[in-house]
Structure 1
């Protein structure tokens, strides 16, 4: 009997001990009351938790693509209107799941999904806010999402990359993902972390799988009772380690995937073309709303570039399959199964071997080209090093030794680059070796897409607006038509001009020294296009006088008076200058003249230019006060003696001071150009002078602001003054942009930035023709000027294909060279 009692009591004790152990392990008794407190911590929302984030009861990870991740953004009352709103209006709109903003008690905002937490304030560190937010996610959304992301309101998340990243990971396992940390040098060893424990740094974001949150959330009250430090992310990491049994990801790559910029408030206020910006999923910190929107716009550009590349790959795959299936092009077009509306677009899939010619094979990088090359090289190096870590080596880019760039408007951009690289091997036999590599790159253009606006657009808009339950009133219809007409004016045919009274005055500034016959042709052009139709355009001639006895000076002044009297308005003004000719001095003197007001548009022009009425319209359209200047790319005529252009010879003028007779002779000669059609602009007759910046359209108030302060006057002789002037504008805009970004980063508001931040708009303009004339390059010019002069002179000889066919292939090369010597000598 005694043995049975001992056995009975032994079994009873074992059962009681097991129950007590289980009870203590789960903390059910201790945590029941605290969990009730947590449930009441979330404020009573006007909407249910699911309605707040626009989620239905039926949506689950099994049947919905928009339930991958729930993003909880910790914010405060002070930042709801600024940081939180910026997050919601940028990357928050494209989260592959749902997003909500967790703030302190009493927080609310109509156009944001804000969850106010009762009993939680905005004090720092936000330990209670963070834990309560995680518990709220667990209570209301644990079965609705695969992943849960805890974020701050100063982090930028690339949601497209986040989705690709998370869909590759098993959310059914306990996962704790972020940038691992163990504290800084001062805190190391003082955070009560074991040797194998770490935490995910909160700034760049923390990701928990559904399984992790399930294991941790019931024990959050215990974690809140046992805080060992003042750091919220450290305590979250300790809680996850204890109750989910997993540490933050130790992978080295997480430093670049979850990127933290240590420069503080100025983070991401400089150039965004950096490796970490391109490769990261999250970027932290972005403290100011303008910087958040700037990062968002930049990321959209990266996405657009990636989509264009994917589109190109698909086009090539289609073309390859068409070839493999041996489907004739004509059959596809006839059967209406072509994916492209035009035959040219269809052929675009096949021909990637055509390389466009370039009249300037060697030159200094322009800023836009340099920026594009940096993008290309960065992408190439990323592709080269995609598997480098597994192979124990890396290849680093150092510099471009030389390269060739050729563009064809149909087929794309071709590059041949000679790069200096460094090969580094860090496994096995370590080595570092410099290497040179050639890259042959083709960046093909994708298909051009057009969108047609029907004539019934007004009715369509009214129908769609009324269907929304609102009324499209007569006042709204009138306002809509007004805005639509303004858009139509931008693309109206040449015959539709802006009335002179509705447009700012344009003032042509023409530097002149000699060139009497050409000036008569220019004035004929000005009379035909400007004076006869009474355009609101004036002309200032900055006339350099080297010899007062020159009879042409008197003829020029008499002709100006004649035209002013004929058209009853002071449209042409002459400014007399003395000394050595300087285009910069001539322009700057005219700019400062009282004949030009601050609200006038200044157009710098050369005497060799022929222009049309379309030129005037484009100047007005593309020149915007305080915002944009216009640098048209002029069509430049080849040497007619070499390429055999069908052009009448320059007429001979009468001797003496018979200015009116000479003017009539040159007016008849000018009519040859006035009657030319668009056929004049072609590859046989000339080229667009993309390296020339002499013709500029800018408001006087912009050119005279304190950052630009007029035109460049320190250049003597031929050329280079236009390049220096452009550099002055770019430098001023760059300095203002940097100053503005840094000011925003520091929380200061910079006013009147637009008056100094000028964008440059460049476009080929077929209404501006530069008529050929011989260029005599003075060897006494400054070195860069002399090289530019020789380059311009060579470019005007003719296109390479024509010269090759006409001279080299016909064994007339020596004759060709002798003719060039004669031209240069003259």
Structure 2
């Protein structure tokens, strides 16, 4: 124990002397031998901190999963270093060939002496090194040459707030992704600046970002111009400390695009209790392991040259590997050719409380897309009695019976009676009618879908791996979208220009029934008709087994909203991937929102926000305000009205 302490103490003194740190202040070494005093919570939060990046040891790590997480985190930095090295090599090649007078378009086919190709692998072939014309472009803030004025990529200005020229909110707080990106850029810049600090006897610390400019060029990368306030400290020779400002012109280049194919099979997670089956003697089968890295079966059989011949070991090992593959990857299985992803059964679960007319519209949509085309989709309706419209409860049952008799379908109805409506409880009740391995899709009665929607649900929801949270397109109020006072100034006459028809009209192509159904249940997607509901989490594709593994809904939440947000946060923290993308085939039809004042404050404010966001676009609101100056300047009009009344 004393020896260990003496060695550690001597190392601290040696490090301090090399870096100009006085030995009587050993606390400086906390930066390299970092101790986190949070106990069990040590290093469980963000790893992207200055302390973690400066340290050579991290202590304590109480959980092996955190050890793997830290290991992966630093491996990512190694990957980043290799990518940067690859970019440097591409730039060196491009620069050298430019000096030789080789045109940029001929670089990929350039032959070295001896008829050796510079880039042997072409696009789509294994070992392809990327497009040198893009990756080898020299570092320049003007790499992108716009052909038109509309193609110019405008900088955003960064100060205490973020200022954008073409954003709907020109002045707003700096979003978290941009803030994190700036932190990464500044940290890397400071590491580059301080790399030769030992030789130069000085350290420069980051103090503050005064202002900056940033833009994203989709082809090349991100450009930053940053005004940094730094602290200069010289510890060798004449010691001094001074504040300095420096402009940094930075460019983060994109590397080559990579595509990774994910198998559509469903390999079970190792820790799933249903997979750890017991044998007759009570021992667990292949998943029980003694060694942390390899199972006992692998230790005793795979490449065990001492007990088996080489050929037998190879065959045994390959068969073990084959048995553990998902069905889609098994080379002697018909599932490789006919994996039933696109025909997989999807179980719709629909909560309903009153709203008979809207439910009738949904059922017509369901009839055209599912019932008439025999799609592998089932429907479970969980109905509540609405005291304001009690007849809707019985009418919903009659409508479901009508469709079941007409198409011989099996639309299920769960009647909740006069219980207090809770969307989470309704979906949970509907799930009870599904098996654990069923793919379920939580949907609302206001949604409109088509065949494209069903395909995306099946493809993007992967058991044990991924859940699908589509970002749906939400319609604005049609009275606003089509209203004159929201689209033109008072007294303004808009003449619609009708283009003269030229030539012979082309006949419409013959479309299949599926294509016609997709067109029927589609809408024009633009900023005037609606918006993608980025903060809506109610529509979800998930396997029931995965839903149960994360704990399901918080059933204590009653009334409108919040249960989907809680589930989304739970899934984000789980080991499941959350796939979230704008889906223009899922349309949320407009309906007025009535916010109950008896809701919890957070639910009530969320309801008001949704109600305001679905009213109309920024353009519609601007026209309305300009056409109604009494709303824009109420005090001025109030004074004028009082003066007229007095006279």
Range of TM-score over shorter length: 0.5 to 0.7
Does 1:797 find its partner at 2:617? yes
**Aligned counterpart, 1:278:** 53
**Aligned counterpart, 1:773:** 590
Question: Taking structure 1 as reference, are residues 519 and 315 closer, same or farther at Cα in structure 2, changes over 3 Å only?
Answer: farther
- 2:614 aligns to what SS in structure 1? helix
Does 1:298 find its partner at 2:142? no
Matches within 5 A, 1:361-440: 374-383=183-192, 385-386=194-195, 390=200, 392=202, 394-397=204-207, 410-413=219-222, 423=231
**Aligned counterpart, 1:199:** 10
**Aligned counterpart, 1:697:** 541
State the Cα distance separating 1:616 from its structure 2 match.
4.5
**Aligned counterpart, 2:149:** none
Question: Taking structure 1 as reference, are residues 714 and 401 closer, same or farther at Cα in structure 2, changes over 3 Å only?
Answer: farther
**Aligned counterpart, 2:471:** 633
Question: Taking structure 1 as reference, are residues 716 and 293 closer, same or farther at Cα in structure 2, changes over 3 Å only?
Answer: closer
Question: Taking structure 1 as reference, are residues 367 and 341 closer, same or farther at Cα in structure 2, changes over 3 Å only?
Answer: same
Question: Taking structure 1 as reference, are residues 288 and 484 closer, same or farther at Cα in structure 2, changes over 3 Å only?
Answer: closer
Determine if contact 1:637/1:687 at 8 Å carries over to the other structure.
yes
CA–CA distance in 2 between the matches of 1:436 and 1:720? 47
Does 1:589 find its partner at 2:364? no
Determine if contact 1:612/1:767 at 8 Å carries over to the other structure.
no
Does 1:603 find its partner at 2:441? yes
- 1:789 aligns to what SS in structure 2? helix
Greater per-residue helix proportion: 1
Determine if contact 1:381/1:396 at 8 Å carries over to the other structure.
yes
Determine if contact 1:602/1:697 at 8 Å carries over to the other structure.
yes
CA–CA distance in 1 between the matches of 2:446 and 2:30? 56
Instruction: Spell out, residue by residue over 1:116-151, the C-alpha distance to the aligned partner (whole angstroms, 9 max, x if none).
Output: xxxxxxxx8899xxxxxxxxxxxxxxxxxxxxxxxx
**Aligned counterpart, 1:764:** 581
CA–CA distance in 2 between the matches of 1:575 and 1:402? 60
Return 308-317 or 775-784, whichever deviates more.
775-784
State the Cα distance separating 1:300 from its structure 2 match.
1.3
Matches within 5 A, 1:515-554: 518-531=358-371, 532-533=373-374, 535=376, 537-543=378-384, 545-548=386-389
CA–CA distance in 1 between the matches of 2:614 and 2:361? 22
Question: Taking structure 1 as reference, are residues 678 and 506 closer, same or farther at Cα in structure 2, changes over 3 Å only?
Answer: closer
- Select 2:606's aligned residue among 765, 785, 810: 785
Determine if contact 2:461/2:543 at 8 Å carries over to the other structure.
yes
Instruction: Spell out, residue by residue over 1:455-505, the C-alpha distance to the aligned partner (whole angstroms, 9 max, x if none).
Output: xxxxxxxxxxxxx9637769968985994761499xx999963487xx6x6
Instruction: Spell out, residue by residue over 1:364-418, the C-alpha distance to the aligned partner (whole angstroms, 9 max, x if none).
Output: 88877765554344324434555677575643457x8999987665444567889
Determine if contact 2:475/2:614 at 8 Å carries over to the other structure.
no
Determine if contact 1:629/1:761 at 8 Å carries over to the other structure.
yes
Determine if contact 1:511/1:606 at 8 Å carries over to the other structure.
yes
Determine if contact 1:625/1:699 at 8 Å carries over to the other structure.
yes
Matches within 5 A, 1:88-99: none
**Aligned counterpart, 1:566:** 406
Does 1:510 find its partner at 2:350? yes
State the Cα distance separating 1:294 from its structure 2 match.
3.5
Q: In angstroms, what is the RMSD of aligned CA positions?
A: 6.1
State the Cα distance separating 1:714 from its structure 2 match.
4.0
Return 356-365 or 388-397, whichever deviates more.
356-365
Determine if contact 1:355/1:414 at 8 Å carries over to the other structure.
no
**Aligned counterpart, 1:113:** none
- 2:18 aligns to what SS in structure 1? coil
Question: Taking structure 1 as reference, are residues 310 and 684 closer, same or farther at Cα in structure 2, changes over 3 Å only?
Answer: farther
CA–CA distance in 1 between the matches of 2:363 and 2:179? 40
CA–CA distance in 1 between the matches of 2:171 and 2:385? 35
CA–CA distance in 1 between the matches of 2:336 and 2:526? 22
Determine if contact 1:510/1:587 at 8 Å carries over to the other structure.
no
**Aligned counterpart, 2:257:** 448
Determine if contact 1:412/1:442 at 8 Å carries over to the other structure.
yes
Determine if contact 2:231/2:242 at 8 Å carries over to the other structure.
yes
Question: Taking structure 1 as reference, are residues 565 and 445 closer, same or farther at Cα in structure 2, changes over 3 Å only?
Answer: farther
Determine if contact 2:553/2:563 at 8 Å carries over to the other structure.
no
**Aligned counterpart, 1:259:** 33
Instruction: Spell out, residue by residue over 1:427-478, the C-alpha distance to the aligned partner (whole angstroms, 9 max, x if none).
Output: 7797787x9999886544211145899xxxxxxxxxxxxxx96377699689
Determine if contact 1:603/1:696 at 8 Å carries over to the other structure.
yes
Instruction: Spell out, residue by residue over 1:759-802, the C-alpha distance to the aligned partner (whole angstroms, 9 max, x if none).
Output: 341232647422553666879786852674377438x738xxxx
Determine if contact 1:267/1:285 at 8 Å carries over to the other structure.
no
Matches within 5 A, 1:127-206: 199-200=10-11
- 2:610 aligns to what SS in structure 1? helix
**Aligned counterpart, 1:307:** 82
- 1:595 aligns to what SS in structure 2? coil
- 2:565 aligns to what SS in structure 1? helix
**Aligned counterpart, 2:637:** none
- 1:446 aligns to what SS in structure 2? coil
- 2:78 aligns to what SS in structure 1? helix
- 1:295 aligns to what SS in structure 2? helix
- Select 2:565's aligned residue among 713, 723, 726: 723
Instruction: Spell out, residue by residue over 1:337-376, the C-alpha distance to the aligned partner (whole angstroms, 9 max, x if none).
Output: 9978499984574428746976677778887776555434
Question: Taking structure 1 as reference, are residues 691 and 677 closer, same or farther at Cα in structure 2, changes over 3 Å only?
Answer: same
- 2:77 aligns to what SS in structure 1? helix
CA–CA distance in 1 between the matches of 2:185 and 2:522? 36
- 1:199 aligns to what SS in structure 2? helix
Determine if contact 2:348/2:378 at 8 Å carries over to the other structure.
yes
Instruction: Spell out, residue by residue over 1:609-667, the C-alpha distance to the aligned partner (whole angstroms, 9 max, x if none).
Output: 343456456545555666654323345568889999xxxxxxxxxxxxxxxxxxxxxxx
Determine if contact 1:629/1:698 at 8 Å carries over to the other structure.
yes
State the Cα distance separating 1:563 from its structure 2 match.
1.7
State the Cα distance separating 1:605 from its structure 2 match.
1.8
TM-score (norm 2): 0.56
State the Cα distance separating 1:554 from its structure 2 match.
5.3
Determine if contact 2:205/2:232 at 8 Å carries over to the other structure.
yes
TM-score (norm 1): 0.46
Question: Taking structure 1 as reference, are residues 679 and 774 closer, same or farther at Cα in structure 2, changes over 3 Å only?
Answer: closer
CA–CA distance in 2 between the matches of 1:315 and 1:484? 38
Question: Taking structure 1 as reference, are residues 386 and 345 closer, same or farther at Cα in structure 2, changes over 3 Å only?
Answer: closer
